[in-house]
Structure 1
Amino acid sequence: MNTALRATSDRPCGPRDGDPIDQIAAALRTDGYIVLPAPLPPAALGGLLRHFRSIDREQFRRAGIGREDEHQLNRFVRSDKIFWLDNTNLSVNAYLSWMEALRVGLNRRLFLGLFDYECHYAYYDRGTFYKKHLDCFQGSTNRVLSTVLYLTPNWQPRDGGELAIYPPGEEAAAPDALPLLKVAPRFGQMVIFLSEEFPHEVLTVNRPRYSVTGWYRVNNSLGDIVDPAS
């Protein structure tokens, strides 16, 4: 069910034209998700990891759940810390350019109406987790595709922190429900899936875990209310 892609160049460019984006689009159309073992070149991954490590941990904020008036901190649901990204860093800017090229390519193939992309670094310390959830906010349909790019070097199975993805409609399933798949947070691996369809969780982490987590969104602007907000 998974489609493997691999970049063969260290050039700081977007996804290659042709088959790779076709394969991503086909997987999203048929399965709703895809795991990419190494879609970005090593130089790009190294730049992101160096930037991640250069940020003072005090600048990371404990992540919450919900949005705006419904936003709250709940350590029983999630215990990671996040740092929102923009294009001021060269490595992040190259990554955002890559994701922009993917956005354009997926819109051409799937007509998803993807409007923009937002992302943050996610830092999971030992013993942290994120319980089963959906990436769309209640009453909102603006998050369409979720992406996670893993930056933890030398991950081993004993390190934990896998992403468990459950079948659609299983968000209220029993705690012992079996996942559809588990994605190992290996360095350079990326997973993309439909935000509104797949409940998922980050299993307990046994060593610090780094990733770039992001979402492609549609434009739900209505009247004087602008969404996505700037």
Structure 2
Amino acid sequence: MRPKTTGFQLPPRMLARRRRLASGKVWVGYYYNGYSNDGKRQELSLGTDLAAAKRKWAELECAEVPVDASMMKHTFDQYVRDILPKKKPSTQRENMLCLSQLRPVFDAAPINEIRPQDIAQYRDARSAPVRANREIALLSHVFNMAREWGHLKGENPCRGVRKNKEQPRDFYADSEVWDAVYEAAAPELKDAMDLNYLTGQRPGDVLRMKDSDIREGALLVRQGKTNKFLRILLRPNGSESRACQNFRVSPGS
């Protein structure tokens, strides 16, 4: 095989093709320089992502994946590109906060060399125990996706790693606190408090409620977090005010 004249950083039999597009941007595609069954030279497309192309090259060559293509950085990049946009905006923001802590630690680590004890060391080094639990939960999902993508050969290293103990919140707004807030609240907040109290739904779901959601004597609710559908049947008691109407929740059909 003659020496390469371009792409010296690429593995043997891997080529890079560059094209200048009409927009002025340079397109780069990677190919495997192989042969067909009848011995004719044949270039197989490896895609446009360099790390993914090197992993495909390793499969074709029955070789180890180059170290620079097996770093966690590439898995994080793919997760942010392919998985994160499918989540709700609030979850995306939460995940990005977790990734801002995880990536400086794990970006440069070869994914197949990360061990459970490395995850435990990260947990113990974090000064925020509860945040560490959220970050490790996200990292575990990243590893699960990495197994599906073929980046990770073995088990998820987060599996079996002990989480930090969490103290559940035990604050309860008694009638004194509730009444104080209610008296000082704007009419819109009072309506929201009434709906929240009467329906037992999350604040975000309450704020999305509209008059048009009331049909055939029931309030229809599509829960934002679980995507479950509820019909909250309105059963007003004539002796009570509108704000004190009784509600009964039943699963939607």
Give the TM-score band, short-chain normalised.
under 0.3
Higher helix share: 2
Q: TM-score, normalised by structure 1?
A: 0.24
CA radius of gyration, larger in: 2
Q: TM-score, normalised by structure 2?
A: 0.23
